[in-house]
Structure 1
């Protein structure tokens, strides 16, 4: 089935394929409702072979609930550096076309160790983020904020993420975000689902105190 999906994406010149995460939990996160190993296997193969960008969507609640008029759907993109984070930013930027979407960029900045150099760590600076998030469409929502946090290890990253767990309706993160940097130091060893990446795995875990959905993005490989 993954071959059919990949060929269809190639034939139709698809830019992005979004697949459902294979596992779902009860509302209180205490019980696994479904655990589709066939879907997990499909996701792994599509991530490896697709010619387009791929998203894994962890569904936790309806994307839009009955809310008071004028309230915003709150989106947070978590970025460190690398091509997958740029994909996450580009996707987040498109969501600003909806006037009822509020966008926050959480920029995690890895502290360099004595063995690391500026060039050895993939990261974005604020100018890079502004360039991706700029818009030429006057109809788009031009308001977004960027929060920068310096991080020296994965434990700090986990604390930061938990502190904002209840603030957003959707988290967007690059699959390789923070890979081989201080941001994920100590987290990689505990990653349960490698298709989500280290940060995505933290946010999607049942221990994470949030009902927000999660979208993990991998930029086009070929």
Structure 2
């Protein structure tokens, strides 16, 4: 996470980057938890749990070091709430601080053998609620060890970040983020755009265009405008590269992505649009990652970290409609689990 923030600070806009590190703690009926709440209210200030050998100690040290080395404003905060209400603390804090982006860790972690492990399944519920109710854009980070334990600096790091672009507001947000990263002296950004083969006739491509012609023309126009600006940037900045992949269907698209999987970080939109984007299979085990994020996360041959971006849209978040039912099911399952588990007071 620290290295992702370092990559995000750019150079030109470093003074405009503020990081609020929100330490989430689950509220329970244990005395230690109640005392922490009392301490927070009494002091009226953000705090970290600094008990003996507390896990948060390492977090404090890491963020303090990042603050000193990068000259970025880092403000630690702590939120203590039940798992069912934790998303409210995240969203309320983001709104109060006027955050532009919330970055959440993926609820699964990679083991040394490359397999995925779910240690706290209820954290997925928190993430999906944030995606539905967030007051700003949201990124879910699938961390495969971006930069390892080494602090990123332009003098000794050469990173390649790939932005997968199909079109739509989420992809445009991911591209904007990638271009900011390109300001970092140790980072190169390659934008790969997937476009429909003009000779593709009949079947899914033609049907798609007939269905969306009237509703998506504005979004397509915004895509073209952004790509035009990107091409101009790439012609002047050696750290930015633009490439197009011409494909006829979803199968060719997935094959092409396999060819470019060697990098340090993928930036992808949660809901890709465009002629090919809407044809991708969106039914994967973790729908909050979207079709491309899900593909890159489940592929054991991919070693790059993945950041999935959902752009904020007032009253119409991309995943809100499809997520509501899934969130309700997760809540019911979590409540049943809590009822059946023995009291741990």
TM-score (norm 1): 0.84
Q: Which has the higher helix share?
A: 2
Question: Deviation digits for residues 107-162 of structure 1, max 9, x if unmatched?
Answer: 0113572222483665433x422426877xxxx96531111012222211211111
Query: In structure 1, what is the equivalent of residue 97 of structure 2?
Result: 12
1:62 match: secondary structure = coil
Determine the C-alpha separation between the residues in 1 that align with 2:232 and 2:87: 35
Report if the CA contact (8 A) 1:75-1:103 is conserved.
yes
Report if the CA contact (8 A) 1:110-1:183 is conserved.
no
Unaligned residue ranges in structure 2 (runs of 5+)? 1-85, 315-345
Shift of 1:215: 0.2
Report if the CA contact (8 A) 1:99-1:141 is conserved.
no
Report if the CA contact (8 A) 1:86-1:132 is conserved.
no
Determine the C-alpha separation between the residues in 2 that align with 1:84 and 1:217: 6
Question: Deviation digits for residues 5-44 of structure 1, max 9, x if unmatched?
Answer: 1011111111000000001122332x33334211110110
- 1:188 and 2:273 aligned: no
Determine the C-alpha separation between the residues in 2 that align with 1:134 and 1:14: 29
Report if the CA contact (8 A) 2:250-2:280 is conserved.
yes
2:213 match: secondary structure = helix
- 1:48 and 2:158 aligned: no
Determine the C-alpha separation between the residues in 1 that align with 2:185 and 2:312: 28
Determine the C-alpha separation between the residues in 2 that align with 1:130 and 1:208: 35
Q: How many residues align?
A: 211
Report if the CA contact (8 A) 1:172-1:216 is conserved.
yes
Query: In structure 1, what is the equivalent of residue 206 of structure 2?
Result: 114
Give me the CA root mean square deviation.
Answer: 2.7
Shift of 1:184: 5.4
Determine the C-alpha separation between the residues in 1 that align with 2:130 and 2:88: 8
Unaligned residue ranges in structure 1 (runs of 5+)? none
Residues 13 and 183 (structure 1 numbering): CA distance in 2 closer, same or farther, change over 3 Å? closer
TM-score (norm 2): 0.55
Q: Choose between structure 1 and 2 for higher RCO, CA contacts under 8 A separated by at least 6 residues.
A: 1
